[in-house]
Amino acid sequence: MTTTRHGIRTTKTATMALVAAVLLVAGGCGGGGGESTAEVVVVPAPPSTPPASPATTPPTTPPSTPPATPPSTPPTTPPTTPPSTPPTTPPTTPPTTTPPPTTPPPTRLAYDRVSALALRGGMLLGADTDSGTLLHLEADTQTANPLSEAGALEIEAMAYDAAADIVYAAESTTQTLIAIAVGGAVEPVGLPGALARSGIRAMAFDSTNGVLYAVDSDTDELLILDTTDGTSHLVVELSPAAADTIEAMTYDPVSDALVAVDRATRFLVDIDRTTGVVTARGLTAFAEIRAMAILPGTETILVSETHGDRIVKINRMTGATIVD
């Protein structure tokens, strides 16, 4: 039987045990021969505790070992790959070809004694006295191309008649006036020997008046040559007498004057067609001017300078050399 008192729960068994204990105590006290009052001390029984259930021991679990963490390695960044670009094909370079060496233009004519010049339109004609060759000349390149072989003819003076398109020349050996056609063919004017002069070394055609002039260097005389029969006619003697060294002459239609070079003094001169007076204009730089021809409408004169075997340009008024 179980009772609950003052909040303490007891059982029948516990009560009985308590009584027995009291009696035992009482008997002990009586042994003292006197009556005594036994004080019953009620010792409360310890609370009933249900048997402890053995603690459930959870199964032993080995301590959880965290997985080994490898040392921290920074993430590997893959190399940056540039955007794919198609390969650039280099431009095709043609194989290098070495150009042939440039040959500089010649500085001298291939002929030693060009003693006569005449301008036929834009063509510069000349005659080489030593070889008797008629030439087509290029002043800028100093080239000379043969037109024909005059053979034994010795031509030392030429002049061009633009109206008739004829080049006249004086042949010294036969003392004959000759006409040179466009292709270089030569024909005598009049009878052979009609000039009757061997010293004609300068000629010029006056296109304003239609007159062919010449200078006889042996006699220092200005002559007119007849283009119909090839004869010569005295006009006037030149003054001063040193004019015997005039071996080149041309006509300037702008100033209507005969222009010549005195080879002895190297002066460019004008010749008066009435009086024969020779007037100096300017000093040239060349001692061996053998022929000359003026570029129409300009003050530029082309001259054959035989000391250097070349064609050069000079100013008609001053004689100064013109360099292009």
DSSP string, 212-270: EEEEETTTTEEEEE-TTT--EEEEEE-BSGGGGGEEEEEEETTTTEEEEEETTTTEEEE
pLDDT given for residue 72 in this prediction: 56
Residue appearing with tokens 């061997």: 198
Average pLDDT over residues 220-239: 95
Cβ-in-10-Å burial (0-12, 13-18, 19+) of 173 comes to: exposed
Task: Compute the mean pLDDT over every residue in the chain, rounded to the nearest whole number.
Answer: 77
Is this structure's pTM higher than 0.75? no
Per-residue pLDDT tens over the stretch 255-301: 999 999 998 889 999 999 999 999 999 999 998 999 999 998 899 99
pLDDT band at 20 (very low <50, low <70, confident <90, very high): very low
Residue 84, pLDDT score: 60
- For residue 78, what pLDDT band results from cuts at 50, 70 and 90? low
Q: How far apart are CA 199 and CA 246, in angstroms?
A: 11
Show the tokens assigned to 89: 């094909």
Q: What does the pLDDT average to over 7-22?
A: 45
**Would you say the C-alpha torsion 253, 285, 142, 308 has a positive or negative sign?**
positive
Poorest-pLDDT segment among 73-77, 151-155, 171-175, 208-212: 73-77
Which DSSP state fits 190?
A: S
d(CA 296, CA 253): 8
To the nearest whole percent, how much of the chain has pLDDT over 90?
48
Where residue 144 falls among pLDDT bands split at 50, 70, 90?
Answer: very high
Instruction: List 239's β-bridge partners, or say none.
Output: 277
Q: How far apart are CA 249 and CA 213, in angstroms?
A: 9
Assess whether pLDDT exceeds 90 at residue 21: no
Which pLDDT does position 184 carry in this prediction? Answer: 78
Overall average pLDDT of the 2-31 stretch: 44
Mean pLDDT of 151-178: 91
The class level of CATH for 114-322 reads mainly beta
Q: Which two tokens stand for residue 272?
A: 């008066």
The 8 Å CB, 24+ separation contacts for 176-183 are 176/230, 177/225, 177/227, 177/230, 178/153, 180/125, 180/134, 182/120, 183/147, 183/148
Q: Is the pLDDT of residue 177 over 60?
A: yes
Q: Which residue has the tokens 């024969």?
A: 276
**Tokens linked to 108:** 């001298």
For residue 301, how many C-alpha atoms fall within 13 Å in the half-sphere facing its CB? 30
Angle CA(306)–CA(309)–CA(312) in degrees, nearest 5?
A: 85
**Mean pLDDT within 5-23:** 44
* Cβ atoms of residues 300 and 313 within 8 Å: yes
- Has residue 110 got a pLDDT over 70? yes
Q: What is the pLDDT of residue 37?
A: 40
The residue to which tokens 């029948």 are assigned: 12
Backbone φ and ψ of 241, nearest 5° = -65, -20
User: What values do phi and psi take at 279, rounded to 5?
Assistant: -115, 125
The residues near 36 (Cβ < 8 Å, ≥ 6 apart) are 29, 30
Q: Under a CB-based contact definition with an 8 Å cutoff, are residues 11 and 2 in contact?
A: yes
